[in-house]
Chain A
Amino acid sequence: MSARRRPKLAVWKFASCDGCQLSLLDCEDELLELAGEVAIAYFPEASRAMQAGPYDLSLVEGSISTPEDAERIRKVREQSRTLVTIGACATAGGVQALRNFQGVAAFMSIVYARPDYISTLASSTAIADHVPVDLELRGCPVSKHQLLELINAWLNGRRPNLASHSVCVECKLRGTVCVMVAQGSACLGPVTQAGCGAICPACGRGCYGCFGPQDTANTDSLGEAWLRAGESRAALARVFHSFNAAAEPFASAGSKYGQDDNG
């Protein structure tokens, strides 16, 4: 027998695109080594072997959008010593939270001829709205480097080293010329949490906020700058209401510009 019990890892999926748990399988260089450090006890996308709980670390992807899932997340929490939410769906409700602003009935009749077959909630909400969450990993999708850092830190009993500054700092670090200043591109970088590596400005486009709002985001100030640069209020409403639409202050900012636009 091995001298040390390997901690049990579980990966759970709620409403999502699978991209965040795929990020774990995208760690091609580290996957087998990781499997030596933790027991992958529940990860249906990767294995048909499933061990019963409790689990030492649960990674939760996806948002809560059905009555069944609202119940299931409570059971996941009960079986998990540490629960970490991964990605914009789990931390903020995801792009599917756009329904929260418009009403789900209208959406459902667009997609399904027989809406009565479908069970769904009026809103798509973050995991933390339902159960206590120990740590959140932002991004649409999460950064695989941050995911590895998180697991590594957890295995070694230390706090993960995760940036809390804005995307602007990452642009400066990689030497990208500011797209807002130099090209007049609308960029959410000043109000968006770092972690992606500022990849959008590096491609010459503005950040679209997929890592969600930074702690001290001043959306009003950024919004005014965009309006001065000639963006429409409707465009501002759309950009705040995208992949982290339900996260404050993006939620309020999007609603504010959207309402102004409607008169």
Chain B
Amino acid sequence: MARTITVDCLTRVEGAGALTIRFDGDKVCEVKLRIFEPPRFFEGLLRGRAREEAPDITARICGICPVAYQMSACHAIEDAAGVHMDERLRSLRRLLYCGEWIASHCLHMFLLHAPDFLGYPDAIAMAGEHGHLVRRGLRMKKAGNAIMSVIGGREVHPVNVKVGGFYRAPTPKDLQALLPELIWARDAAVETLVDFAGFEFPDFERDYEFVALRHPRDYPFCEGRIVSSAGLDIDVRDYEDTFEEQQVAHSTALHSVIRGRGGYVCGPLARFNLNFDRLRPAARAAAARAGVGVPCHNPFKSILARAVEVIQAFDEAIAIIDSYRPPAPAALDLPQGAATGYGCTEAPRGLLYHRYAVAADGLIREARIVPPTAQNQKSIEADLYSIAARLADMPHEAATWLAEQTVRNYDPCISCSTHFLKLEIEPR
């Protein structure tokens, strides 16, 4: 029997795109994730700009994770200049990144993803029955945004990040004012993990190759080697030798693959699996109490990985503020000189790679940016392939919703990936 499932616009994702699943009888023959977010050509418009402009310009690729772009850009430009952050600057950058992870993860967990598990079209409808959960989520999100406002001046596109450090170091008093709310939020995050661990998760697993940064001591933010669950272990500089971007006709986003192997997964689930032993004791203990552990190959449980990372981020933010001493100077000077620099940091959605060739006059000659959603796209399509047989037997509306949820597991950021989504499940 032939049938067609169509959703004109995939929702509760950041950006515009569509999804097509073609069936031949009960057998799925094609899955296409189509991104029609208009291209904005950032790599092109960065040419001829001053290296100091890279963090502010690339922040505009994504309003959800501007700090990730600022951090990858800064580290790449600093790498070109041979400058390394001292411990105080490094801590302040980690604190800012904690703020973004919290705000971005809470947005996805409470407003975008949880309604799928509880059966609501959105968080506002969900607030009727689950008002406590939604209000708690908004308050946690606000605590993350407050970190960004205090350090960066505002939540979206903060203005205080500078190549070499910061324009102005916040005072200890500025940061200490955040503590009472952060301490409340860390407890709220632990409760949240327990609540989310009680959700009913579709029984679904795939054998993923997870890819994430790995640091000798810490849960990864801005530094480390790129490692994978299949044994990859490379320097950030070797990214382009290992990963390849392919252009496909149905999308304005490029697809990433590991050369010779194919698709892979980056983001919270990959970080959680590869860096569980790098989590702070508070986050590991909370995960153990909630019965959340590794390995975890169920993408629907990415919400639990996010919830653990939120505990991690609140706990680390509190620790950084407790021992905070303002960096002096607030920014390191960068020597001039023609060079190429590489930066890779862990955006909320996964690896964000930047490479800049800087000329002797300080202008950017060439820029390369690979955002996390482009890297996850192939895996999202593969998940849909795997789950499609189940969709074929389901009622129309339920099948559409589950297909959407399968995409939302990745918290896809389409604005980033073009550098997302209309769902059509078509019979052939």
Q: From B414, which residue of chain A is reached at the shortest CB distance?
A: A18
Q: Which one of B125, B156, B419 has the greatest number of beta carbons of chain A within 10 Å?
A: B156
Say whether, besides A28-B142, A118-B39, A205-B159, A98 and B45 are in contact (CB < 8 Å): yes
Question: What mask results when residues 1 to 45 of chain B are scored 1 for a CB within 8 Å of chain A, else 0?
Answer: 000000001111111100000000000000000001111111111
Interface size on B, residues (CB 8 A): 69
Residue numbers in B under 8 Å from A137 (CB-CB)? none
Question: What mask results when residues 6 to 36 of chain A are scored 1 for a CB within 8 Å of chain B, else 0?
Answer: 0000000111111111110110110110010
The reply to whether A28 and B60 contact each other, CB–CB distance below 8 Å, is no
Query: What total count of A-B pairs have CB within 8 Å?
Result: 191
Residue numbers in A under 8 Å from B160 (CB-CB)? 203, 205
Query: Does chain A have a CB within 8 A of B384?
Result: no
The reply to whether A17 and B62 contact each other, CB–CB distance below 8 Å, is yes
Question: What mask results when residues 107 to 122 of chain A are scored 1 for a CB within 8 Å of chain B, else 0?
Answer: 1101111100110100
Say whether, besides A45-B12, A204-B167, A111 and B39 are in contact (CB < 8 Å): yes
Chain B contacts with A in 350-371, Cβ cutoff 8 A: none
Report the separation of the CA atoms of residues A22 and B413 in the bound assembly, to the nearest whole angstrom: 12
The reply to whether B111 and A107 contact each other, CB–CB distance below 8 Å, is no
Report the separation of the CA atoms of residues A98 and B15 in the bound assembly, to the nearest whole angstrom: 21
Please tell me which stretch of B47-55, B73-81, B192-200, B235-243 contacts chain A, meaning at least 4 of its Cβ atoms lie within 8 angstroms of it: B47-55
Query: Does chain B have a CB within 8 A of A141?
Result: yes
The reply to whether A110 and B124 contact each other, CB–CB distance below 8 Å, is no
Question: What mask results when residues 262 to 295 of chain B are scored 1 for a CB within 8 Å of chain A, else 0?
Answer: 0000000000000000000000000000000000
Residue numbers in A under 8 Å from B103 (CB-CB)? 26
The reply to whether B168 and A203 contact each other, CB–CB distance below 8 Å, is yes
Q: Which of B14, B39, B45, B127 contacts A32 (CB 8 A)?
A: B127
Say whether, besides A104-B41, A199-B159, A114 and B247 are in contact (CB < 8 Å): yes
Q: How far is the CB of A158 from chain B (nearest CB, A)?
A: 26
Q: Which of B45, B63, B141 contacts A28 (CB 8 A)?
A: B141
Please tell me which stretch of B132-140, B215-223, B320-328, B333-341 contacts chain A, meaning at least 4 of its Cβ atoms lie within 8 angstroms of it: B132-140
The reply to whether A50 and B157 contact each other, CB–CB distance below 8 Å, is no
Q: Which of A31, A110, A235 contacts B138 (CB 8 A)?
A: A31
Residue numbers in A under 8 Å from B233 (CB-CB)? none
Q: From A21, which residue of chain B is reached at the shortest CB distance?
A: B63
The reply to whether B63 and A17 contact each other, CB–CB distance below 8 Å, is yes
Chain B contacts with A in 157-177, Cβ cutoff 8 A: 157, 159-160, 162, 166-168
Q: Which of B53, B121, B139, B419 contacts A111 (CB 8 A)?
A: B419
Say whether, besides A31-B138, A32-B134, A200 and B157 are in contact (CB < 8 Å): no
Given contacts A22-B64, A96-B41, 20 further A-B contacts (CB under 8 A): A13-B16, A15-B37, A15-B38, A22-B107, A25-B107, A26-B103, A28-B138, A28-B142, A47-B122, A47-B124, A48-B121, A49-B121, A68-B36, A99-B45, A108-B44, A111-B419, A112-B39, A141-B156, A203-B168, A242-B56
